[in-house]
Chains A and B, each alone.
Chain A
Amino acid sequence: MRNWKLITMPFDKENPITVQVLGICSCLAVTAQLKPALVMAVSVTVVVALANLIISLLRKSIPPRIRIIVQLVVVSTLVVLVDLFLKAFVYDVSKQLSVFVGLIITNCIVMGRLEAFAMTNPPLPSLCDGIGNGLGYGIILVALGTVRELFGSGTLLGYPVMEKIGAYNIGYENNGLMIMPPMALILVGIIIWIQRSRRSS
């Protein structure tokens, strides 16, 4: 039960993006469209979960003085592995994500979870914590990706939604600001606002 809570907590109460305000950089960069946002969400989840698991297994043997380096080596190994697999199996998506896969290494959520959780907790809870935080990050990414692609380009996963429902015929136009990174920041702000006002009541 405790493990289940570890998975679901980051969805809302402990969300890495809206509550801890981590991982903002990639969240602005890859959410102009939904598909890269989805793949990024999956990739980060895989990396955080596995990194948490590995670090947790090693935690008793890691000398505290070099722990950050050890964490970095594990994380970068995993990220390069993910990158290789994406290139071999979903080549087109890996091209869309381009540099951002590599940048998962510097995603603050990954290092944050390792330091805050995996270093001091057993493997199973650590794995759950990693999955939860990856998904919590993913939820926000997908939400942003959906809104930005729908209102910025009028499509969803490349499917021309706005054209199909005839929005252009009644004078609707795509909002160019939506595909600019600043809009992602504004949207994150709105999500945070809604979340906080709901919780305080």
Chain B
Amino acid sequence: MEGGAEMKQFSNRYMLLYSLALVAVSAVVLSVTAVTLKPREERNRQIEQQQMIIKTIGLDCAKNETPQAYERHIAEAEHDGKTYYRYDCDERQGIILPLHGTGLWGPIWGYLALDCDGKVVGAVFDHKGETPGLGGEIATDKFAQRFVGKRMDEHPIYLIKNADKKDPHQVDAISGGTMTSNGVTQMLEEGYNDYIKIREDATK
């Protein structure tokens, strides 16, 4: 303290009003900013989701081109109250399965594009707060590439250490990211169950 002026006594009334005023100002500033920036954030979120979805069928678009590409190739569909997607691009058709699960620190999610036989043509994953460099690696293309060519029919795809590259259901897990890898396996299993139901109903 500088002494003198700073050491003066403040009354309880002053302290109470001071903190109230401070909190009120802070609340106003935050709410105004949050409300003003909300549409931007939501738009970012939506574009990001569309970007992820079209990436599974091999379209890598810049932010501003994403919405058009999405409109052109993707159709939303519903089964049992759950949303999934149908794609139609360059004479390739199939469905895109949305996946939701839990990693080590929070939610993880992804999309899996399958052709008519249940073979994976593309995958993409993302996470809310997995450790960068470890579990966070599921968001990389390198990880997603491991899924291409694997099969989602008969058995769900699962992550395992030192996966057999020839096995159509095994994918290499992430070293240092065991909990996240387990989360991905779990999420693939649930996705598989959805997929089987969607396919059964389609053939009925």
Grouping DSSP codes into helix (H, G, I), strand (E, B) and loop, the A interface class, with mixed when no group exceeds half, is: helix
Q: Is A84 an interface residue (CB 8 A)?
A: yes
Q: Is A195 an interface residue (CB 8 A)?
A: no
A64 touches which of B1, B29, B41, B48 (Cβ 8 Å) = B1
Contact between A77 and B19, CB atoms less than 8 A apart = no
Chain B residue nearest to A120 in the complex (CB) = B2
Q: State how many residues of chain B have any CB contact under 8 Å with chain A.
A: 34
Residues 103-152 (chain B) with a chain A CB within 8 angstroms: 105, 126, 128-129, 131-134, 136
C-alpha gap A89/B44 in the complex (Å): 9
Interface segment, one of A91-99, A106-114, A125-133, A135-143 = A91-99
Q: Is B64 an interface residue (CB 8 A)?
A: no
B40 touches which of A29, A33, A88 (Cβ 8 Å) = A88
Contact between A152 and B133, CB atoms less than 8 A apart = yes
C-alpha gap A74/B33 in the complex (Å): 15
Q: Is B83 an interface residue (CB 8 A)?
A: no
- Count how many pairs of residues, one from A and one from B, have CB atoms less than 8 Å apart in the complex: 88
Contact between B23 and A73, CB atoms less than 8 A apart = yes
Least distance between A153 CB and chain B CB atoms (Å): 7
Tell me the A residues contacting B by CB distance below 8 Å: 29-30, 32-33, 36, 59-66, 69-70, 73-74, 76-77, 80-81, 84-85, 87-89, 91-92, 95-96, 98-99, 119-120, 148, 152-153, 176, 179-180
Tell me the B residues contacting A by CB distance below 8 Å: 1-2, 5-7, 10, 14-15, 18-19, 22-23, 26, 29-30, 33-34, 37, 40-41, 44-45, 48, 105, 126, 128-129, 131-134, 136, 175-176
Further 11 A-B residue pairs, CB within 8 A, beyond A32-B131, A77-B30, A99-B129:
A64-B6, A65-B15, A81-B33, A84-B37, A91-B41, A99-B105, A119-B1, A120-B1, A120-B2, A176-B175, A180-B176
